[in-house]
Chain A
Amino acid sequence: MRQDERMTDEAIAWAVRTGDPSFEEWDAFTAWLEADPAHAQAYDRAVAGVMDAAEAGSVAPANDDVAEEAPARGGWRWLALAASVVLVAMLGFIQLRDASYVVETAAGETRTVALADGSDVTLGGAARIVLDREDPRIATLEQGRALFSVRHDDADPFVVNVGEQTLVDAGTVFDVARMGKTTSVAVSEGVVLVNPERKLARLEPGDTLSVTDGSDAYRLGTAPVARIGEWRDGRLTFDDATLGEIAHELSSSTGIAFSAAPAVAERRVTGSVALAPVEQNPQAIGPLFGVAVRREGDSWIIDRP
């Protein structure tokens, strides 16, 4: 009992100190917590009890010049409200625990998200991915490009859903892009299985695959491994892509609005673009693809030369 008392006193003393934004001695606090698992419980009780009191006390009078009945009712109303706030906070928390979450990037932005299993995903510009906090081994790429560096686990393969396709890693670094209804995959390390339960394709380093929703007709190809994921370093390579697709990708990657004029949107070209010069001068892509680039308001139109 006496020891409990002392522990409660210590927990209260820590709660007073950690409760101030200027508190910085977290190492000392950690050491106290580690000294006895019961310390954390005592601290939780102390902080939660003080929070309850502060919430209840927000409406309780500080002096006696209010009639006895009124503050009690007011206090109860407020406490009911506080309880519902706690409940909402709890539901929000459960939802967070269960539910998926979305990470999005702006056009021109690149961002790496660390997953709890040690894997990471680098998103290109204007990308959107849905991740699951409960299960770090699943991801849904809704649009844009993502380079997955996956920690391999035979017992729990990493699964990427993209459009109508399912990609299953077998120990892997791979690049996935979702443009409109078309999914493209390129493998840099390891092996990726595409749609293992429907029409299996097995991709090894240097293999590429693209497929459009509504069909299982895979377009298979190869790419130099060094080129896969190079968009992270500011380079985009197009292999027999339409100028419409290229305009879209350039917009996502640079944050500069490109579009292809109808007359050339379906024209297919091949080439590799360093983004830095394009960001300086959008017309720099002209000579590479044999097109003209002209400005219309805030956007750049790719058109016939």
Chain B
Amino acid sequence: MSSNRAPNGLEAAFLANRERLLRFLRARGAGDAAEDLLHEVWLKISTAAVGPVAAPVAYLYRTADLLMIDRYRSERQARRRDKDWSEAAATVPGVSDAPSGERVLIARDHARLVAEALDALGPRPAAIFRRHRIDGVQQRQVAEEFGVSLSTVESDLRRAYRAVLEVRERIDEA
């Protein structure tokens, strides 16, 4: 007999698709950290209690993709804090590590600017963006709820994404 625990579906999919996932992480910009990040994907699926997954390969890619996004956002956050720190340090040396007043204003404006930018697209794209990105409803179901085709949902989302990214850029340039 063997008491080895058989790998579950997700782990088996990982082992069978290791190279593909590695290639994806490299393409995603992981560089030298690709192996480490792949290992992190493995740890996430092998140590966390993940229930049965309908599409294990897609799930693995998504996990890897989200790791990269987390990494990007963390690095960006750190860069912003460094920038805030150096700005604060330049004006009041060694006194405050609080964000500069300007940045507080900008952050406060973000929510309002996002709302304005979305609403400017018209009621449906704004509502579809919120339903999908904020309520977390799948695109197919959003399409059913709004009585439109999936491609209309995608097209509304593209417009909404473009609008909120323009807000983001305006803030970053300020």
Contacts and interface: CB of A to CB of B under 8 A. Distances in A.
Given A45-B165, A76-B108, A116-B36, A53 B127 contact: no
A139 to B, nearest CB: 14
Given A40-B28, A40-B29, A101-B43, A56 B4 contact: no
Contact of B161 (A12, A57, A96): A12
A21 B165 contact: no
Contacts of B13: none
B147 to A, nearest CB: 19
A187 interface: no
Nearest to A34: B27
Contact of A116 (B39, B108, B139, B164): B39
Contacts of A112: 4
A79 B108 contact: yes
A9 B161 CA distance: 10
Interface residues of A, number: 83
Contacts of B36: 97, 116, 133
A62 B2 contact: no
Contacts of A97: 36
Interface string A30-50: 100110010011011111111
A94 B77 CA distance: 13
Interface in B31-76: 35-36, 38-40, 42-43, 46-47, 55, 57-58, 61-62, 65, 68-74, 76
Contact of A12 (B70, B158, B168): B158
B91 interface: no
B162 interface: yes
A89 to B, nearest CB: 6
A157 B76 CA distance: 36
A96 B132 CA distance: 30
Given A21-B62, A89-B74, A110-B4, A44 B165 contact: no
A90 interface: yes
B157 interface: yes
Contacts of B112: 60, 71-72, 75
Interface of B: 1-5, 20, 23-24, 27-29, 35-36, 38-40, 42-43, 46-47, 55, 57-58, 61-62, 65, 68-74, 76-78, 107-112, 114-115, 118-119, 126-127, 129-130, 132-134, 138-140, 154, 157-158, 161-162, 164-165, 167-169
Interface of A: 8-9, 12-13, 15-24, 26-27, 29-30, 33-34, 37, 40-41, 43-54, 56-63, 71-76, 78-80, 83, 86-87, 89-90, 93-94, 96-97, 101, 103, 108-116, 122, 125, 133, 136, 232-234, 253, 274-276
